Chains A and B, each alone.
Chain A
Amino acid sequence: MNLTGVGLGAAVVIGVCTALLGLVLPSRARPAAVGVGTALTGAAGVLAGAAALAGRSFTVALPGVLPLSGVEFALDALGGLFVAVTGAVAVAASVFAIGYARSHGLGARGVQVVFPLFVLAMLLVPAAASVGTLLVCWELMALTSLLLVLAEHRQRREVAAAGRWYAVMTHLGFLAILTGLLLFAAHATDDSFTALRQAAQQLPPGVGGAVFVATLIGFGSKAGVVPLHAWLPRAHPEAPSHVSALMSAAMVNLGVYGIIRVGFDLLGFSMLGAGARWWWLLVLGLGAVSAVYGILQAAMSTDLKRLLGYSTTENMGLVLVGLGAAGLFASLGQPVLAGLALGAALLHVLNHAAFKSLLFLAAGSVLHATGTRDLDALGGLRTAMPVTTGLFGLGALGASALPPGTAFVSEWLLLQALIHGLPSAGGASTLTGTGTSTAMAIAMPVAVAAIALSAGLAVATFVKAFGVGFLAKPRSAQAERAHESPPSMLAGMGLAAIACIALALLPTTVLPALSSAVAAAGTAAVGSHPAEAGLITLRLAGVAGVLSPLSLAVALLLGALLTAGLARAVTARRQRGGALGPGGGRRVARLWDCGGGPLSARMEYTATSFAEPLQRVFDDVVAPETDVDVDHHVESRYLVRAVEYRRRVPDRIERRLYQPILDGVAWWGRVGRGVASGSVHRYLGYGFYTVCAALLLLALAR
Chain B
Amino acid sequence: MLGLWRKIRRTGRVAEPAPPRPVAGPLAAAVGLGGSVQIRHVDAGSCNGCEVEIGSAFGPMYDAERYGARLVASPRHADALLVTGVVTRNMAEPLRRTFEAVPAPKLVVAVGDCARNCGVFAGAYGVVGAVGDIVPVDVEIAGCPPRPEAIVEGLRKLTGR
**Candidates A581, A592, A596; contact of B76 at CB < 8 Å:** A592
B104:A590 contact, CB within 8 angstroms = no
User: Which residue of A590, A592, A596 has the most chain B CB atoms within 10 A of its CB atom?
Assistant: A592
B105:A592 contact, CB within 8 angstroms = no
- Nearest-neighbour CB distance to chain B for A586, whole angstroms, equals 11
| Per-residue contact bits, chain B 29-50, to A (CB 8 Å; 1 contact, 0 not) | 0001000000000000000000
A581:B104 contact, CB within 8 angstroms = yes
> In A268-312, which residues have CB < 8 Å from any B CB?
none
Q: Report if A583 contacts B (CB, 8 A).
A: yes
- Total of A-B residue pairs, C-beta within 8 Å: 24
Q: Report if A580 contacts B (CB, 8 A).
A: yes
B105:A589 contact, CB within 8 angstroms = no
**Chain B residue contacts of A589, Cβ below 8 A:** 100-101
Q: Report if A595 contacts B (CB, 8 A).
A: yes
Instruction: Pick out which of these stretches binds chain A: B90-98, B118-126, B139-147, B149-157.
Output: B90-98
Q: Report if A579 contacts B (CB, 8 A).
A: yes
- Nearest-neighbour CB distance to chain B for A583, whole angstroms, equals 7
> In B74-122, which residues have CB < 8 Å from any A CB?
74-76, 93-95, 97-98, 100-101, 104-105
A592:B104 contact, CB within 8 angstroms = no
Instruction: Summarize A's interface: helix, strand, loop or mixed.
Output: loop
- Find the B residue at minimum CB distance from A589: B101
> In A583-629, which residues have CB < 8 Å from any B CB?
583, 589-590, 592-596
**Candidates A583, A593, A594, A595; contact of B104 at CB < 8 Å:** A583
**Candidates A580, A581, A592, A596; contact of B75 at CB < 8 Å:** A592
Instruction: Give the contact-size bracket for chain A.
Output: 10 to 19
- A592-B74 in contact given A580-B104, A581-B105 (Cβ < 8 Å): yes
- Nearest-neighbour CB distance to chain A for B159, whole angstroms, equals 19
- Nearest-neighbour CB distance to chain A for B75, whole angstroms, equals 7
- Find the B residue at minimum CB distance from A595: B94
- A595-B105 in contact given A579-B32, A589-B100, A590-B100 (Cβ < 8 Å): no
- Find the B residue at minimum CB distance from A579: B32
- Find the B residue at minimum CB distance from A583: B104
| Per-residue contact bits, chain A 464-480, to B (CB 8 Å; 1 contact, 0 not) | 00000000000000000
**Candidates A580, A592, A595; contact of B93 at CB < 8 Å:** A595
- Nearest-neighbour CB distance to chain A for B160, whole angstroms, equals 18
B101:A592 contact, CB within 8 angstroms = yes
- Nearest-neighbour CB distance to chain B for A167, whole angstroms, equals 57
- Nearest-neighbour CB distance to chain B for A571, whole angstroms, equals 13
**Chain B residue contacts of A580, Cβ below 8 A:** 104-105
**Candidates A579, A581, A583, A590; contact of B101 at CB < 8 Å:** A590
Complex: how many Å from CA A469 to CA B16? 56
Complex: how many Å from CA A622 to CA B111? 52
4 further A-B contacts with Cβ under 8 Å, apart from A590-B97, A595-B93, A596-B94, are A580-B104, A583-B104, A589-B100, A594-B94
Instruction: Summarize B's interface: helix, strand, loop or mixed.
Output: helix
- Nearest-neighbour CB distance to chain B for A577, whole angstroms, equals 11
Instruction: Give the contact-size bracket for chain B.
Output: 10 to 19
**Chain A residue contacts of B75, Cβ below 8 A:** 592
- Give 10 CB contacts A-B under 8 Å: A579-B32, A580-B104, A581-B104, A581-B105, A589-B100, A590-B97, A590-B101, A592-B76, A595-B93, A595-B94
**Chain B residue contacts of A583, Cβ below 8 A:** 104
Complex: how many Å from CA A593 to CA B75? 11
**Chain A residue contacts of B104, Cβ below 8 A:** 580-581, 583
Complex: how many Å from CA A469 to CA B77? 31
User: Which residue of A579, A580, A590, A595 has the most chain B CB atoms within 10 A of its CB atom?
Assistant: A595
| Per-residue contact bits, chain A 635-646, to B (CB 8 Å; 1 contact, 0 not) | 000000000000
Complex: how many Å from CA A617 to CA B105? 44
Complex: how many Å from CA A13 to CA B104? 73
| Per-residue contact bits, chain A 488-516, to B (CB 8 Å; 1 contact, 0 not) | 00000000000000000000000000000
**Chain A residue contacts of B93, Cβ below 8 A:** 595
**Chain A residue contacts of B94, Cβ below 8 A:** 594-596
- Nearest-neighbour CB distance to chain B for A384, whole angstroms, equals 29
Complex: how many Å from CA A571 to CA B74? 22
- Nearest-neighbour CB distance to chain A for B77, whole angstroms, equals 10
> In A548-595, which residues have CB < 8 Å from any B CB?
579-581, 583, 589-590, 592-595
- A595-B95 in contact given A580-B104, A581-B105, A583-B104 (Cβ < 8 Å): yes
B32:A595 contact, CB within 8 angstroms = no
Complex: how many Å from CA A583 to CA B105? 11
Complex: how many Å from CA A583 to CA B106? 14
**Chain A residue contacts of B74, Cβ below 8 A:** 592
Complex: how many Å from CA A57 to CA B94? 75
**Chain B residue contacts of A590, Cβ below 8 A:** 97, 100-101
- Find the B residue at minimum CB distance from A580: B104
> In B46-77, which residues have CB < 8 Å from any A CB?
74-76
Complex: how many Å from CA A112 to CA B87? 69
Complex: how many Å from CA A590 to CA B105? 17
> In A23-82, which residues have CB < 8 Å from any B CB?
none
| Per-residue contact bits, chain A 323-350, to B (CB 8 Å; 1 contact, 0 not) | 0000000000000000000000000000
**Chain A residue contacts of B98, Cβ below 8 A:** 595
Complex: how many Å from CA A461 to CA B54? 45
**Chain B residue contacts of A595, Cβ below 8 A:** 93-95, 97-98, 101
**Chain A residue contacts of B100, Cβ below 8 A:** 589-590
**Chain A residue contacts of B32, Cβ below 8 A:** 579
User: Which residue of B74, B93, B97 has the most chain A CB atoms within 10 A of its CB atom?
Assistant: B97
Instruction: Kindly list the 4 A-B residue pairs having the minimum CB-CB distance in the complex, ordered from nearest.
Output: A595-B94, A595-B97, A595-B98, A592-B101
**Chain B residue contacts of A593, Cβ below 8 A:** 97
**Chain B residue contacts of A592, Cβ below 8 A:** 74-76, 101
| Per-residue contact bits, chain A 352-380, to B (CB 8 Å; 1 contact, 0 not) | 00000000000000000000000000000
Complex: how many Å from CA A593 to CA B76? 11
Complex: how many Å from CA A596 to CA B95? 9
- Nearest-neighbour CB distance to chain B for A589, whole angstroms, equals 7
- Nearest-neighbour CB distance to chain B for A679, whole angstroms, equals 80
- Find the B residue at minimum CB distance from A597: B93
- Find the A residue at minimum CB distance from B93: A595
- Nearest-neighbour CB distance to chain A for B42, whole angstroms, equals 8
- Find the A residue at minimum CB distance from B32: A579
**Chain A residue contacts of B95, Cβ below 8 A:** 595
User: Which residue of B93, B100, B101, B105 has the most chain A CB atoms within 10 A of its CB atom?
Assistant: B101
Complex: how many Å from CA A596 to CA B32? 30
Complex: how many Å from CA A140 to CA B95? 70
- Find the A residue at minimum CB distance from B95: A595
Complex: how many Å from CA A590 to CA B75? 12
Complex: how many Å from CA A359 to CA B14? 63
- Nearest-neighbour CB distance to chain B for A102, whole angstroms, equals 49
> In A146-164, which residues have CB < 8 Å from any B CB?
none
**Chain A residue contacts of B105, Cβ below 8 A:** 580-581
- Nearest-neighbour CB distance to chain A for B154, whole angstroms, equals 23
- Nearest-neighbour CB distance to chain A for B129, whole angstroms, equals 17
- Find the A residue at minimum CB distance from B102: A589
- Nearest-neighbour CB distance to chain B for A578, whole angstroms, equals 12
Complex: how many Å from CA A590 to CA B93? 13
Complex: how many Å from CA A581 to CA B103? 11
